[in-house]
Amino acid sequence: MTPEDWLVSQPWAGQDAYIIGGGSSLKNFDWNQLITLNTIGCNDAYKHGQAICKICVFGDLSWWQHHGKHLADFTGIVVSNACAMASEKPKWVHYYERRYDGLSRTELCWAGHTGSSAINLALILGAKNIYLLGFDMGIINGETNWHNEVIHPNAVLPSSYQKFLSRWNHVTRDLNRMFPNRSVINVSDCSKLPDIETISATKFWAEKGLS
């Protein structure tokens, strides 16, 4: 089965999936907890390797221009809905059209941030419960990301996070209608996304026998 076939075959049907965001709440996270899980990593998450980040998703052309040469060595699957990639992508980048106004079964939602695209991809892959990690949507103790490589400082201003939150309904309003009996759950001790369940990260990992 080719990666293209795998992506459309709902390989995660009925299973859990974990989305690795960029928030600084993951700065001291034990990444090895994710090795056996279905994971989609946003942007820099590919640096942890395919064992931890099964699929890497990106949606910013400038991010690609900065990371593309390193991403070529990543052994997992790479997916993008950056518009320029439709005609310029290498063969190993799997392209989905970008949808700006909500979720889709054949395109990837873009609500101003890569996290929304990753959620849509997990739904397309069939995941039943989607757990969000590092979706802080804000600055914590003066830090914006778990990594130290921010390409565009303006993208991590408080106003930018407010813009992301203002478009969050592009995800939530279509969830039950287009993907019934699925759940998106925020695993966090420091953020609350509207209209979805939030579980304490400390409690969540403790109940799984992890820290």
Q: What is the pLDDT of residues 160-204, one digit of tens each?
A: 778 888 999 999 999 999 999 999 999 999 988 999 999 999 999
At 78, the pLDDT band (50, 70, 90 cuts) reads very high
Burial 23-48 (b: 16+ CB within 10 A, else e): bbbbeebebebbeeebbbbbbbbbbb
At 69, the pLDDT band (50, 70, 90 cuts) reads very high
For position 23, which CATH number holds? 3.90.1480
Taking the complete model, does pTM exceed 0.75, yes or no?
yes
Residue of 116, 72, 79, 59 lying closest to 4 (CA atoms): 79
Q: Are 104 and 120 in contact (CB under 8 A)?
A: yes
Q: How far apart are CA 95 and CA 16, in angstroms?
A: 23
Which range in 122-126, 133-137, 140-144 is most confidently predicted, on average pLDDT? 122-126
Indicate if the pLDDT at residue 68 is higher than 90. Answer: yes
Indicate if the pLDDT at residue 137 is higher than 90. Answer: no
What pLDDT was estimated at residue 67? Answer: 94
Q: What is the pLDDT of residues 14-29, one digit of tens each?
A: 999 999 999 899 999 9
The total number of structural domains in the chain stands at: 1
What pLDDT was estimated at residue 153? Answer: 63
The C-alpha angle with vertex 188 and arms to 133 and 203, in degrees rounded to 5, equals: 110
What pLDDT was estimated at residue 151? Answer: 60
Please tell me what DSSP assigns to residue 198: E
Domain coverage including residue 146: 3-207
What pLDDT was estimated at residue 211? Answer: 54
Q: What is the pLDDT of residues 80-111, one digit of tens each?
A: 999 999 988 899 999 999 999 999 999 999 99
Percent over 70 (pLDDT), the chain: 94
Q: Once rounded to an integer, what is the mean pLDDT over residues 22-45?
A: 95
